[in-house]
């Protein structure tokens, strides 16, 4: 098929060739492999998978490579690919209570069944640049614990549940259709599943800032990090023709349950309430921010005043997505000269009018 | 002495003569990129939009391989409508050769293999950003607008929950107040583009950021007008021959832009003009924003004050 | 798959077939009273007309519940629609996104989903198989999509439909949209269109 093209087409092609060259950089330096990105930039891969809404470390690594390390661009690439995939159905809910734990910490209990498991974390590193890493060829090996992590690792919220101290969360019936934010336009007011989907895809930086704002008094909700856990969970799917679920694989997730004091209302006793965060891979900052914002967005449910940005569902949901935000902010570099011309005509007319008025009445503002 | 300039679209060397570059179709994607289920969803939304002129139908906008804000809504509408018998024209700012227009045309050439054109008269589907072609459109054509903010009330009321109520109740007082405040302060309505319209005496609608110069063309246009807002997930429509009124007041009737100058290339007195800065001493010229309209007039022998006569070597 | 035995084929070319069918409907909906035609390229099961089958296969899927008037509630028809569209076939017209009926059996329009003022698109699109469609007289149509007036002849619709239609139009922006079908021919009446019936002598 042939089409007539000219001008801009060549410019676009040339620009893309330049980009490809710059992406590769100095060819004297070995080219990055996807394995290297997946293994050594794992947290970048995890963020791209989480906000890209697609669990595929290989493709996320490719997206990061293609985007020259621009993670928002990589998220966009993964999202655009995800759109083209067929949708077979909805998995069974993953059970984080049966997670193969790699990390599990609670800020609410010094000790608890299963114990605190620090796992891999920046938390207690001294942020000193490690020049040994600069030299390369490191092969660090961690010690193996003498005893295995407890297989029974109850969630802190389940422990609180025994005393009735935390709100109970009942799963919806299996017949309830699962809303899919990527296939339907959101409606306001939205419900919590729609909000959580939005937050899970939301920009980490945006949610971090919003979560932080709640801590500084813009929608204070007294949070405790009830528990953060990282590990592998099984994903199960029930094909129509089988009628029962089968395990189709395993994914790494980070879960954060914030618990928040609640003084009670006319209809609810004093108890702790929850904010929930979940991400693919290891995205702890995101999971915690998400949990803070989730709780803040439940203000109305608990009869709290909705005053702060983080409590404002439409504000949060409409602006959390960095693919949407980035596109619209950056569209400002597209040509707008027709609109600008229209504005020129208007501003010139307004000036003419203002100067004419100034001549009639020289003490008016326009004459100053 | 007049400065001789060429239309901006003729400045690139390769534009000096007619050139045809093959664009290979890409493998592994459905016709016009979108999967069939998505097309059905969009098609249903379009039909509802036609049945309720000016009402913004929410749809499950997909993530496209082009950024939000760059025409994803228009692209999805075009992808749902277009077929192998169509001829597509894409313009941005009135011109076929702006990079974004080229890029979108290239997208459909790659994913749908359809014929493309720069001639308004030859197109069956015209996707546009910010302009309506000067040449009157016909019943055989569909005009697809790219829309950044579909909600005409959004700048006055940020919340969807509120604006939806206003549309449901046909309560547009906030818009009239805003326009009237303009008149009270400035003696005129200062909106120069995306000037709100009322469709079929019911819905207030954003015409997309076309200059208000183009608003009158929407009224009772023989072509079907479809509007796609990808990021905001809305589709709306104006059926052919439907009344589209620009909002105004009896004592302050709607007016459009006019220029003292004519097009420097083709001498047109009736087209929307782009201001071209020609030096750093305040020199400027005005040329048609609609590159096809300008070209066609020049081919017919019209010459402006600043343009060279048309010659055979002037390509499109 | 053994269960597909006996199910008639759908579009000869599903992608282009659906596109052409949609454009026929879009054109008809945009210009009320104008007659277009569409078919799947294969004969549909009786009593579905060619146009009805093409419209359904082009637009109906598992996101759009379908209601069938009794005349269409036959195993060959339901199997055909379920197989090709994957749609749920439901009992209440008020829950339907699409409906198929004959002109004689068309229920009161108020029985269908009418949408609400905030979301008027949540209404039923009703495909009405009639006994004849022509442009040589009968009804006079006006409204959006029509330059002055269009003439349309519709044969075989139940008594009182046009009064019912006038009431539907009063509900705007709520209301149903009709697609009238005869064989491969179709004409659409979106909720905006005003229908004048010939004066009784």
Q: At which residue do the structure tokens 């198929």 appear?
A: C100
User: In the 3-class helix/strand/coil scheme, how is chain B assigned residue by residue?
Assistant: CCCCCCCHHHCCHHHHCCCEEECCCCCCCECCECCHHHHHHHHHHHHHHHHCCCCCEECCCCCCCCCCCCCHHHHHHHHHHCCCCCEEEEEECCECCCHHHHHHHHHHHHHCCCEECCCHHHCCEEEEECCCCCCCCCCCCEEEEECCCCCCCCCCCCCHHHHHHHHHHCCCHHHHHHHHHHHHHHCCCCCCECCCEEECCCEEECCCCCEHHHHHHHCCCCCEEEEEECCCCEEEEECCCCCEEECCECCECCCCCCCCCCCCCCCCCCCCEEEEECCCCCCEEEEECCHHHHHHHHHCCCCCCCCCCCCCCCCC
Given an 8 Å threshold on Cβ–Cβ distance, is B61 in contact with A185?
yes
pLDDT (0 to 100) of residue C28: 98
Instruction: Determine how many CB atoms are found less than 10 A away from the CB of residue A101.
Output: 19
Name residue, tokens 């009709």.
Answer: C178
Domain residue ranges in chain A:
9-82, 96-122+149-169+179-320, 335-359
Q: Quick one: C150 exposed, middle or buried, by C-beta within 10 A (0-12, 13-18, 19+)?
A: buried
- Nearest neighbour of B19 by CB, restricted to A6, A11, A350: A6
Cβ contact B211–A79 (<8 Å): no
Residue found under tokens 């009270």: B184
Q: Hey, are the CB atoms on B240 and C145 less than 8 Å from each other? A: yes
Contacts of B236 in chain A (CB under 8 A): none
Q: What is the pLDDT of residue C137?
A: 80
State pLDDT tens for residues B227-277: 999 999 999 999 999 999 999 999 999 999 888 899 999 999 999 999 988
- Chain B interface includes C38 (CB < 8 A): no
Residues 164-203 of B with CB under 8 A from C: 164-165, 167-169, 200, 202-203
| Residue among B52, B80, B84 whose CB faces C173 most closely | B52
List, as ranges, residues 110-169 from C with C-beta within 8 Å of B.
116-121, 123, 125, 144-147
Report domain extents, chain C: 14-190
Residue of B47, B79, B144 to mutate when probing chain C, most C C-beta within 10 A? B47
Spans of chain B below 50 pLDDT: 1-21, 313-316
- Tell me the pLDDT of chain C (201 aa) as tens digits: 444 458 999 999 999 999 999 999 999 999 999 999 999 999 999 999 999 999 999 999 999 999 999 999 999 999 999 999 999 999 999 999 999 999 999 999 999 999 999 999 999 999 999 999 999 888 999 999 999 999 999 999 999 999 999 999 999 999 999 999 999 999 999 999 999 998 754
Q: Give percent above pLDDT 90 in chain A.
A: 65
Q: Please give, rounded to a whole number of angstroms, the shortest distance from the CA of A312 to a CA of chain B.
A: 10
Which residues make Cβ contacts (< 8 Å) with residue A13, sequence separation at least 6? none
What band does A1 get if pLDDT is binned at 50, 70 and 90? very low
What's residue B306's pLDDT? 78
The whole model's pTM is what? 0.91
CA distance B8 to B6: 6
Q: Tell if the CB–CB gap between A338 and B188 is shorter than 8 Å.
A: no
- Best mutation site among B65, B68, B98 for testing chain A: the one with the most A CBs within 10 Å? B68
Q: Write the residue in A5, A328, A349 that is nearest to B102 by C-beta.
A: A5
- Measured between beta carbons, the chain A residues lying within 8 angstroms of B21 are 2-6, 9
Q: Counting one residue from A and one from B, how many pairs have CB atoms under 8 Å apart?
A: 188
- Residue A55, both tokens: 């669990």
The strand pairing partners of C67, in sequence order, are: C90, C99
Task: Give the burial class of B102: count Cβ atoms within 10 A of its Cβ; 0-12 exposed, 13-18 middle, 19 or more buried.
Answer: buried
Please list every residue in chain A whose beta carbon sits closer than 8 Å to the beta carbon of residue B115. Answer: 1, 3
Residues of B in contact with A5 (CB under 8 A): 19-21, 23, 102, 105-106, 109, 116
Q: A235 pLDDT exceeds 80?
A: yes
Give the CATH fold of the C14-190 domain.
Rossmann fold (3.40.50)
Catalytic residue list of B: 54, 263, 266, 288, 294
Taking only the tens place, the pLDDT of each residue in C59-108 is 999 999 999 999 999 999 999 999 999 999 999 999 999 999 999 999 99
Contacting partners of chain B (3+ CB pairs under 8 A): A, C
């Amino acid at each position: 098929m042939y089409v007539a093209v000219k001008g801009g087409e060549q410019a676009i092609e040339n620009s893309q060739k330049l980009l490809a060259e710059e992406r590769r950089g100095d060819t004297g330096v070995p080219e990055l492999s996807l394995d290297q990105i997946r293994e050594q930039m794992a947290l970048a891969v995890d963020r791209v998978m989480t906000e890209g809404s697609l669990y595929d470390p290989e493709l996320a690594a490719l997206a990061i490579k293609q985007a020259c390390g621009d993670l928002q661009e990589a998220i966009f690439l993964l999202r655009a690919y995800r759109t083209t995939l067929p949708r077979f159905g909805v998995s069974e809910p993953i059970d984080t209570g049966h997670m193969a734990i790699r990390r599990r910490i609670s800020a609410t209990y010094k000790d608890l069944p299963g114990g605190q498991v620090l796992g891999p974390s920046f938390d207690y590193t001294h942020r000193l640049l490690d020049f040994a890493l600069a030299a390369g060829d490191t092969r660090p090996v961690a010690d193996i614990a003498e005893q295995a992590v407890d297989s029974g690792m109850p969630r802190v919220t389940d422990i609180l549940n025994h005393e009735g101290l935390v709100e109970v969360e009942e799963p919806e019936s299996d017949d309830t259709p699962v809303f899919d934010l990527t296939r339907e336009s959101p409606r306001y007011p939205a419900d919590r599943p729609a909000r959580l989907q939005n937050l899970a895809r939301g920009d980490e930086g945006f949610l971090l800032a919003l979560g932080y704002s709640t801590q500084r008094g813009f929608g204070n909700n007294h949070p405790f990090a009830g528990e953060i856990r990282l590990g592998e969970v099984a994903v199960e799917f029930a094909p129509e023709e089988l009628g029962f679920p089968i395990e189709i694989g395993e994914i790494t997730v980070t879960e954060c349950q914030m618990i928040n004091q609640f003084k009670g209302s006319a209809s609810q006793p004093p108890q702790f309430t929850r904010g929930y965060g979940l991400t693919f891979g290891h995205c702890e900052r995101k999971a915690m921010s998400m949990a803070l914002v989730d709780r803040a967005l439940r203000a109305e449910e608990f009869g709290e005043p909705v005053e702060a940005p983080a409590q404002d569902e439409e504000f949060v949901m409409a602006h959390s997505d960095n693919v949407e935000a980035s596109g619209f902010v950056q569209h400002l570099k597209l040509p707008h000269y027709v609109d600008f011309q229209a504005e020129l005509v208007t501003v010139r007319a307004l000036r003419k009018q203002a100067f004419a008025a100034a001549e009639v009445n020289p003490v008016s503002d326009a004459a100053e | 002495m007049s400065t001789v300039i060429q239309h901006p679209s003729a400045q690139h060397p390769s534009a000096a003569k007619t050139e045809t570059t093959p664009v290979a179709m890409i493998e592994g994607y459905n016709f016009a990129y979108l999967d069939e289920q998505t097309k059905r969803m969009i098609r249903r939304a379009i039909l509802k939009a036609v049945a309720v002129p000016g009402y913004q139908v929410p749809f499950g906008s997909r993530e496209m391989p082009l950024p939000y804000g760059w025409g994803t809504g228009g692209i999805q509408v075009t992808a749902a409508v277009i077929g192998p018998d169509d001829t597509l024209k894409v313009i941005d700012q009135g011109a076929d050769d702006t990079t974004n227009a080229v890029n979108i045309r290239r997208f459909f050439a790659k994913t749908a293999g359809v014929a493309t054109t720069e001639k308004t008269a030859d197109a069956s589907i015209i996707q546009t950003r910010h302009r309506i072609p000067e040449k009157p459109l016909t019943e055989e054509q569909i005009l697809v607008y790219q829309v950044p903010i579909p909600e005409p009330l959004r700048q006055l009321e940020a919340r969807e929950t509120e604006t939806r109520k206003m549309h449901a109740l046909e309560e547009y007082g906030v818009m009239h107040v805003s326009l009237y405040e303009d008149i009270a302060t400035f003696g005129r309505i200062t909106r120069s583009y995306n000037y709100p319209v009322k469709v079929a005496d019911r819905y207030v609608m954003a015409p997309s950021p076309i200059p208000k110069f183009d608003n009158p063309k929407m009224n009772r246009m023989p072509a079907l007008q479809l509007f796609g807002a990808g990021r905001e997930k809305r589709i709306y429509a104006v059926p052919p021959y439907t009344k589209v009124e620009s909002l105004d007041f009896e004592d302050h009737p709607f007016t459009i832009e006019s220029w003292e100058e004519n097009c420097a290339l083709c001498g047109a007195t009736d087209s929307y003009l782009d201001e071209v800065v020609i030096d750093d001493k305040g020199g400027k010229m005005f040329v048609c924003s609609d590159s096809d309209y300008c070209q066609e007039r020049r081919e017919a022998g019209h010459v402006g004050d600043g343009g060279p006569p048309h010659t055979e070597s002037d390509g499109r | 798959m053994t269960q597909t035995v006996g199910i008639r084929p759908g579009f000869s070319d599903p992608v282009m077939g659906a596109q052409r069918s949609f454009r026929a409907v879009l054109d008809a909906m945009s210009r009320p009273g104008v007659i277009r035609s569409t078919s799947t390229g294969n004969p549909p099961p009786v009593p579905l007309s060619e146009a009805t089958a093409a419209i359904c296969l082009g637009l109906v899927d598992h996101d759009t519940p379908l209601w069938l008037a009794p005349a269409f509630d036959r195993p060959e028809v339901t199997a055909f629609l379920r197989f090709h569209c994957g749609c749920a076939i439901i009992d209440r017209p008020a829950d339907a996104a699409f409906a198929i009926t004959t002109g004689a059996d068309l229920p009161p329009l108020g029985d269908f989903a009418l949408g609400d003022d905030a979301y008027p698109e949540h209404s039923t699109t009703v495909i009405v198989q009639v006994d004849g469609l022509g442009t040589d007289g009968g009804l006079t149509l006006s409204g959006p999509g029509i330059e002055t007036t269009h003439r349309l002849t519709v044969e075989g619709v139940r008594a009182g439909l046009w009064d019912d239609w006038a009431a539907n139009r009063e509900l705007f922006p709520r209301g149903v949209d009709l697609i009238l079908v005869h064989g491969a021919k179709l004409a659409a009446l979106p909720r905006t269109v005003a229908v004048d019936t010939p004066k009784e002598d």
